Structure formats: C-alpha cells, structure tokens
Chains A and B, each alone.
Chain A
Amino acid sequence: MKTKVALTGNEAVAQAMKQINPDVVAAYPITPQTEIVQIFSSFVANGEVDTEFVAVESEHSAMSAAIGAAAGGARAMTATSSQGLALMFEVVYIAASMRLPIVFPVVNRALSGPINIHCDHSDAMGLRDSGVIQIFSENAQEAYDNMIQAVRIAEHPDVRLPVMVNMDGFITSHAMDVLEVLDDETVKNFVGTYVPDDYLLDAQNPISMGNFDMYDFYFEHKRQQVEAMKAAKEIIKEVGREFAKISGREYGLIEAYKLDDADVAVVVLNSAAGTAKGVADELRTKGIKAGVLKPRVYRPFPQEEIREALKAVKAVAVMDRAETFSTCGGPMFADIRNTLYDLKNDIKVVNYIYGLGGRDLRLEHVQQVFEDLENIRKTGRVDETVKYLGLRE
C-alpha cells in the first residue's frame, strides 16, 4: 500500500529509518541533519522501533560506535552533515575497509570556513575517495527511496560496504515535499533481516577484524574494495529493479533526462537536477535540444552509463556544487571529462561551479549555461572552461 504524504526531506529519511528499524543508531546532532536524529530518537522513545540509540559525544564517536555495532553483527546507522562528516573522516575509511554495511544519510552542507550552514556538496566530495558508496537524491521522495534501497545494497554479500545517502541541506531537508511512502510491512519485507557472515559476537566462529595490515597485504585488501565497488554497480541496478516492483519507481545508476536526441546537456547532482530539468523543458519548446544527466550514484562512478548517455551530445556543462581548488574545476568535472575522453568525439566539456554556501541556483543561471552551450556548439569554440554561476564578478 502506498500513501501520499507531505514531509520534509529530514522527516522522510527519519520515516525510512523507522521502517528499516535498524538494530543500532549512533548519532550526534548537526544542522541541517539534526531533525533526522531528533525525530528518530522520538521513535525510539515511543517504542516504535527496536533500535538501540546511542547518543554519542561527537561524529567521530558516532561512526566509531556504528562500526563497533556493525562489526558485532548489528544493522547499524548514523547520520550527519558538513563538519560532522569532516570529523568522521578517518573512521569512514575504516568502516569501508572493514567492509561494514553501515547506511548513513548525509544532509549536504558547506564546510567551514567561513562558517556557513547552507547547502553545497563539499562535505560529500571530501569523502568521495573513502571507499563508501555515494548515492544522491533530488528530492524527499528520492531520499526516502534511496535510504530503503541503501540497506539492501550495503548488505549484499558481493558488496558489504557503507552507503552514504545524500540530499541537499535545507533545499531538500527542510522543504515540505509531497511523496509516496510505502507501508511498514512492505519495507520490512524489502529490507529483510540482516544476516552478517562475519561478526565478532559469533562465539562459534571466533574471528579478528580490523587487523594490522603491512605493505605485504594492505595493497591486496584495497584491491578487494575496488572489486566490491565494481560489484556494487550491478547490485544497485538489481535492487533498483526490485524496488520498482514495490513502489513503481525504478532507479539505476544515472537518470538520463531527454538525452536521446540532445545537442547540449547539463550534468548535475541532487536538487539542482530538478531546476535543470525544468529549464530543459522550457528550452525544448523554443527548439533547443537540451537534456540533463543526473548521476544518482557518484561512487562507484557510473562511467559506462554516462559515456553511453552523452556520446551523441555536442557540448556538455558539468555543474559542481563544490570546489577542488585545483584551479582546474570541480570534482565531477574531472570525472566527466575523463569519461568522455576515450570517445574521441570532440565533445566540448565545460564546468560551472555553483551554489557554494547555499547560494541559490536560479532558473536564469541554468538558462545561461544552456545558452553558453549552444554558442559552443555553434562556434566550436570554448572561451572559458571553468566558470562561476551566480557569483558577483
């Protein structure tokens, strides 16, 4: 049974967590994620879930407690944003390398400094190389759906990796949205019971986890993590197809919006994809063949799917809501240009940094991007590879 409800992104994620009913949640409040944990802890207090809630003293401890719980055989979760994720940094790598299926929503927020509480993707991008799976959500519906699927992806025997479910701070987390939620029983059956194959509390099969690993084994174990990431691409698609059966909404690694015949395309993550799709629709009425590519999964990077989706496009703009300070553009720009290089199609790829620290991305900004792309397509000339959208300059 599906029910239409009005919820904020945070409420939707908390609702998903309630229906998943994890064994352990260890978390610390941080804006704009606080509500997720606050709402979830009320579910714990009201006896609506069986979860052991650990109110830890920092995000470093939050992920550490989740690691301990997961290593002990529990289905464990945490949640965070921005500085919290930064403080969690070292332990996120450990969760990934220990192959622990911890699911954790990250409500994307700019990193200090200057101190700021609003949306950009610098927090998630800081951990793109940590070995966790990163899923991005355009709206509350996707955040809810991604949370439920993340459990199955993380716990799949071929994967066994942490999954970070991203959504935009305030834009998605605090805005009221209409979405369809599933009933408790359906979610319960979909996520199933977690059956760990290796866990510390298994007295019959004693094991040692998180062991010291020298130059003679570390490299091999890192290679194993790559293999798990490769496997994750297939599993994410499998879980997406299965999720469609209970929800009517199918998910893959990317969303290709009007790309079949597109001349120009924008590549963008999270909520801004909605803005871009709206602009593309409008431009299509004016005869401009505009399309949008939204990577749903950023790590592992869906290179083949993106290459296939963009192969016939003439000019592409990658929109990054994070800086790398490489002076060569944002993080996703490097990935996308790299992906298109082997096609030898002379696709022009440019980069726009936008929305840092919560700066609004307006329709006219995206219109400007498409106009620039049309000019590049017509002239074959790129004047500036990396530009800033909505910056006073």
Chain B
Amino acid sequence: MTQYGPLNRNLGSGTRTKAVRSDMKWHELTRAGNIYEPGNANSYETGDWRSIRPVWNKERCINCLFCWRYCPDASVIAKDGKFEAFDYKHCKGCGICAKVCPVNAIDMVSEDEIEKVKEANKDEN
C-alpha cells in the first residue's frame, strides 16, 4: 500500500521539483506547496476565468502602450515599442486596458458572443 518510503516523508526537501503537474500525487508535490521556480505563474493558465475579452482594433491604435503599462497581469504583449497581441491564456478580462485607451482602440466583447461567432463559422464550414 505504501508507495512512498520513509525517506519521502520529508516532503519538500526531497522533492524540490520545478515542474508541478496537475496529475502529481500528494507525496510527489513540494511540501506546503512551496514554489522553487521564479515566475511560474506563467504556466498556470487563468484565461478561462474571463467572461469578457479585450479585442484590439488595429486601425485606431496609436501604439501609445497605455494598455501595456496599465495591465495588472502582464497580458498585453508589446514588441519593438508597438502593440503586438493580448495574451488570452492569462488575461482575466478586467477591462482596464479598454478604459485607459485614449482612442477607444480596445473593445470588450462578451466571451459568449465570441463563442457564438465561432459556432456560426463552424456551421458555415
């Protein structure tokens, strides 16, 4: 029954694992859930918490990057001083980017609407 020996009782110091996977058993996880890898929030996708999503309007955007500066979750990706994309795997849809945008280049769209459009496109194909 015991798949973990007494040596494994010191959970944490013996299992300073960096890659935490959701299928790990209790005795494989780090003690008390201590995290030994900096910046690993990136591997925990929180985008599915979102009910509304920011949608970028390329024509209106003046690349002031207010959205990039204000995003509380580093979910605005910028490249060479210009807006690149939203990180939808982590964006929780708070809408701050849309609020601070001086030229209304970000629309907040219901995820339900996006789903409906996706479904409709699927039907057409």
Q: CB within 8 Å of B: which residues of A?
A: 97-99, 157-158, 160, 197-198, 205-211, 213, 216-217, 219-221, 223-224, 227-228, 231
Contacts and interface: CB of A to CB of B under 8 A. Distances in A.
A177 B38 CA distance: 53
Interface of B is mostly: loop
Interface of B: 6, 9-13, 20, 22, 24-27, 29, 31-36, 38
8 contacts: A99-B12, A157-B10, A157-B13, A197-B12, A209-B32, A210-B32, A219-B26, A231-B9
Given A224-B26, A224-B27, 6 more contacts: A197-B12, A197-B13, A198-B31, A207-B36, A227-B27, A231-B9
Task: Give chain A's interface secondary structure class.
Answer: loop
B54 to A, nearest CB: 24
Contacts of A98: 32
Nearest to A231: B9
Contact of A208 (B9, B25, B31, B35): B35
Contacts of B27: 224, 227
Contact of A227 (B9, B22, B24, B35): B9
A211 B34 contact: yes
Given A157-B10, A197-B12, A227-B9, A220 B35 contact: no
Nearest to A157: B10
A221 B10 contact: no
A211 B35 contact: yes
The 3 closest A-B pairs by CB, nearest first: A220-B26, A208-B35, A223-B26
Q: Which of B6, B9, B24, B27 has the most CB of A within 10 A?
A: B9
A378 to B, nearest CB: 44
